[in-house]
Structure 1
């Protein structure tokens, strides 16, 4: 199979001088071409199918540093790869010209912009005959485990296809600022601000309606001096109620933000440890024949349910209770 900087002539031999274009035009081929001519400087991609855990698997911190180093980015979390922009530039780095970086939204912040980038990535995969199916719906949600699994696969795909040629990522973006997408957690926490305005608007409408309802009373109160003294009291009470409602809404929003922050941390921790358990499961499946009893015991622990654990704890308590009853019987005999 030809490498990324090789081409095959119609007779199947390596030919670095010419390249056929639809069987009609002969286009000169050069290894070191300018960017406008790079559409013909790649062959087909090498597919990678192995997804098992190996020693080459990188941690989330290492994989983020690897992405930043190659593409001159400032990503801080694996979840920020959900925008798809980094993958698009990686494809341009592996197979120059297979994707138009002008169409890539490097400043994407919304989900529909992420989907746009992944559509470009899918088109480049199809163009290069890459068999990998991109789980777009999962990736754009910004979940940690989904994005970690995909970047781990892409790292292996990159290593299988990269030929070591020099690449300037900043120049390739042609002046586009590669701003890291916002953290999915931050997008969640910004939602209560909108709800705060939405919650405050009904109170404002209520005060306006209350004020409008009091205006007819002022016209009738002119003929009754005793009722005119009560008008200031009626006009000030809605203002006090509005301030109290705004204070309650602000307090509830603070509590909601705290709960969402705690929930996000729990979900990330859950996904992290689930990934670790999945790695242990794969290792047990690979080493099952070599270390039979030990691996079987690990698999029992991994697959045990809450009911099984409760029954095991109950048996332990019964055994301890029987042991505790033995000294009492011996004392009765004496």
Structure 2
């Protein structure tokens, strides 16, 4: 649920907006003509940001594909997954686009590949939030891990924040990066499963057997092996490599399917939790009316754990009573 900035009424336009001749809200352009790329200017050039608040119960969200397409289109990037937003570089450039000069893009690591580089970018982002009085805590420790749900939740919020603050001015993201290549960070899943093939061959038993072959001993006359014996080690080595590659592919597919299943379970959990939370709020609003139905619903919401403990105790008592009867039968 979106809520306006403090001190404003629902539906009012921010202070830096004005009505145009067509009756639509038009945001006044901020003073950015004298801006030098990469230079942090004073807060008087921007004004304050319009804060956006959202809840997990009722909010309109975009799909993962739409949100990535939006990021790539605005910033001229080549991201393929939501998890790649964990580097924080895209958010830093978004802030430079919304509030020119509030962040130094020269300090942003657009080619970040390691976690400490991601943290560096999010520190810059947090500093820009503070300058613009953005009332939002950045969950840095969760985002830099590259988990899908954490990064999806944050980009969904940031999209609403962007829509509330963008004034429609032109912006060249490539020029603003001043020649820095904005390469997407590696996918966390690919980092785990892209193992070098040489390691399998080096540790295979055929490689050790080839090193310890008696043909390498000095002073001995090696016998001429047959063509069948030459072909046997190479065929067994290639077969073992293919088996290992097949196992890696199968395990990668299993992990991918498990990730998709987990995402579905998490979404379903969040959906039903939101429904329960909404029911709880409604019950709290009408709890003082001595409504029997409301009181019963509150008992169901809050007494579940206690009910389970009573059920376990009751089952334990039944097992105790059943044991003497079984002994008498024997």
1:123 alignment counterpart? 127
**Is 1:166 matched up with 2:169?**
yes
Choose from 79, 85, 106 the match for 2:89.
Answer: 85
Question: How far 1:166 moved relative to its partner?
Answer: 0.8
Q: Which runs of 5+ in 2 are unaligned?
A: 1-5, 7-13, 18-29, 288-292, 312-330
Contact 2:91/2:125 (8 A) holds in 1: yes
Aligned ranges for residues 185-264 of structure 1 at < 5 Å? 185-189=189-193, 191=194, 193-194=195-196, 196-203=197-204, 205-211=207-213, 213-216=214-217, 219-220=219-220, 228=223, 238-264=233-259
Point out the structure with the larger helix share: 1
Query: Hey, what's the Cα distance between the residues in 2 that align with 1:240 and 1:233?
Result: 11
Query: Hey, what's the Cα distance between the residues in 1 that align with 2:133 and 2:235?
Result: 68
Task: Kindly tell me the number of residue pairs found equivalent between the two proteins.
Answer: 274
Larger Rg: 1
* TM-score (norm. length: structure 1): 0.63
Query: Hey, what's the Cα distance between the residues in 1 that align with 2:296 and 2:54?
Result: 23
Query: Hey, what's the Cα distance between the residues in 1 that align with 2:123 and 2:220?
Result: 68
Question: How far 1:231 moved relative to its partner?
Answer: 8.7
Question: How far 1:38 moved relative to its partner?
Answer: 6.6
Aligned Cα RMSD in Å?
4.2
Q: Which runs of 5+ in 1 are unaligned?
A: 7-29, 223-227, 312-334
**Is 1:39 matched up with 2:41?**
yes
* TM-score (norm. length: structure 2): 0.64
Query: Hey, what's the Cα distance between the residues in 2 that align with 1:142 and 1:70?
Result: 22
Query: Hey, what's the Cα distance between the residues in 1 that align with 2:253 and 2:57?
Result: 38
**Is 1:269 matched up with 2:264?**
yes
2:55 alignment counterpart? 52
1:314 alignment counterpart? none
Contact 1:88/1:117 (8 A) holds in 2: yes
Question: How far 1:146 moved relative to its partner?
Answer: 0.7
Q: Helix, strand or coil: the match of 1:288? A: helix
Contact 1:94/1:158 (8 A) holds in 2: yes
Instruction: Go from structure 1 to structure 2 and tell me whether the alpha carbon gap of 1:299 and 1:281 turns closer, same or farther (over 3 Å shift).
Output: farther
- Comparing 284-293 with 240-249, greater Cα deviation is found at 284-293
Contact 2:92/2:105 (8 A) holds in 1: yes
Contact 1:53/1:282 (8 A) holds in 2: no
Question: How far 1:99 moved relative to its partner?
Answer: 0.8
Question: How far 1:53 moved relative to its partner?
Answer: 3.6
